[in-house]
Amino acid sequence: MINIIDGKKIAKKIRENIKEKALLLRQKSIIPTICVIIVGDNKASRSYVNSKHKACMQNEINSIIREFEENIKGEILLEEIDKLNNDKNIHGILVQLPLPKHINAMKVLEKISPEKDVDGFNPINVGKLNLGIATLIPCTPLGIIKLIESTKEDIEGKNALVIGRSNIVGKPVASLLLNKNATVTIAHSKTTNLKELVAEADIIVSCVGKAHFLTTDYVYKNNATIIDVGNNYKDGKLVGDVDFLNVKEKVKYISPVPGGVGPMTITMLMHNTLLACEDQINL
């Protein structure tokens, strides 16, 4: 039996819970607030930032957008982040990536106070995640785990295959799966035996970034769960890494694109902002 993992429905439920908690905080005059920084005029970044802003505002999370010119000096950006770090009314800080080439993105991420790092990209939070210490976790990986957990299948002891090794998705999702006692393999562009790995996998997280990369040319376990993180365009249409219509017949659970991981990412950003807020006011 195929089960489509409905990210939209799962995200909606979590958002209702977030809104309720945010309203309770507001009744105590605490307004959970995120500040999103955008540098330059990257169209895709602007669209992501606007979506984040809209979702936050709809769910009682206050969102402030700070825009800076493309040619802003790195040191000025660091000073601005420092001001936000010291502002008690700001609980979460997110710097939209990519940054212009003249700015050292790692220095910027390091500057964000780990307690306010709602993206979970500060190396201190990355280290904590790898050590299995509770911390703010990157939004897309956290959303992926929630989708896998929604199947109610065990993660412990399962073969989990992560295809893609980015700092934003592949590596953190692999850490999260490992922390949940899966046997984790990370495959990437230099992997030579992907077909064998796919055939052995109980859980597959695909973050390759190639439209319909996973086809029925691969053999899947019939009780496998596939989470498709792809965000690709094919013939003007948003599609995932997985040839959904054909592969869905071969596995037990699969998340679609759109309507799978996408709605979870912004939801987890709000979740992290609320967590950061509660932590900072010592709830």
The verdict on whether residue 206 carries a ligand-binding annotation is no
Using CB under 6 A as the binding rule, whether residue 96 contacts ligand GUN is answered as: yes
DSSP string, 74-113: HHHHHHHHHHHHT-TT--EEEE-SPPPTTS-HHHHHHHS-
Q: Is 255 in the site for ligand GUN (CB under 6 A)?
A: no
Beta 33-39 vs 92-95: how paired, if at all? parallel
Binding site annotation covers 175? no
Adjacency order of strands within the sheet including 33-39? 62-68, 33-39, 92-95
Residue 32 — φ and ψ, nearest 5°?
Answer: -60, 125
Residue 269 and residue 54 in contact, taking contact as beta carbons nearer than 8 Å? no
- Catalytic annotation present for 27: no
Tokens of 269: 């950003």
Among 81, 95, 224, 242, binds ligand GUN (CB under 6 A): 95
Rounded CA separation 16/230 (Å): 26
Residues near ligand GUN (CB under 6 A), total:
8
- 15 annotated as ligand-binding: no
Q: Which residue has the tokens 């955008």?
A: 38
| Catalytic residue of the set 21, 111, 116, 119 | 119
- Please, which of residues 99-138 interact with ligand GUN by CB under 6 A? 119
Residue nearest to ligand GUN (CB): 97
Catalytic residue among 52, 111, 158, 180: 52
Closest to ligand GUN by CB, 59 vs 96, is: 96
- The Cα–Cα gap between 64 and 35 comes to 5
Q: Between residues 175 and 247, which has the closer beta carbon with respect to ligand GUN?
A: 175
Binding range to ligand GUN, per CB under 6 A, among 24-32, 90-98, 174-182, 275-283: 90-98
Judged by CB under 6 A, the stretch of 77-85, 94-102, 152-160, 211-219 that binds ligand GUN is 94-102
Would you give the distance in Å from CA 276 to the centre of its chain?
A: 16
Provide the minimum distance between the beta carbon of 181 and ligand GUN in the complex, in angstroms, as a whole number: 26
Q: Which stretch binds ligand GUN (CB under 6 A): 74-82, 92-100, 188-196, 203-211?
A: 92-100
Residue 97 in the binding site for ligand GUN (CB under 6 A): yes
Instruction: Spell out the alpha helix ranges (H) of 165-261.
Output: 170-179, 194-200, 244-247
Please say if 119 is a catalytic residue. yes
Exposure string (b/e) for 13-33, b if CB count within 10 Å is 16 or more? ebbeebbebbeebeeeebebb
Q: Which stretch binds ligand GUN (CB under 6 A): 63-71, 93-101, 129-137, 247-255?
A: 93-101
Q: Which of 223, 236, 232 is nearest to 262 (CA)?
A: 232
> Which CB, 141 or 158, lies closer to ligand GUN?
141
Q: Give the residue ranges of the annotated binding site for NADP(+).
A: 164-166
Would you list which residues are annotated within the binding site?
164-166
Q: Which residues bind ligand GUN (CB under 6 A)?
A: 94-97, 119, 139-140, 168
User: Active-site residues: which are they?
Assistant: 52, 96, 119
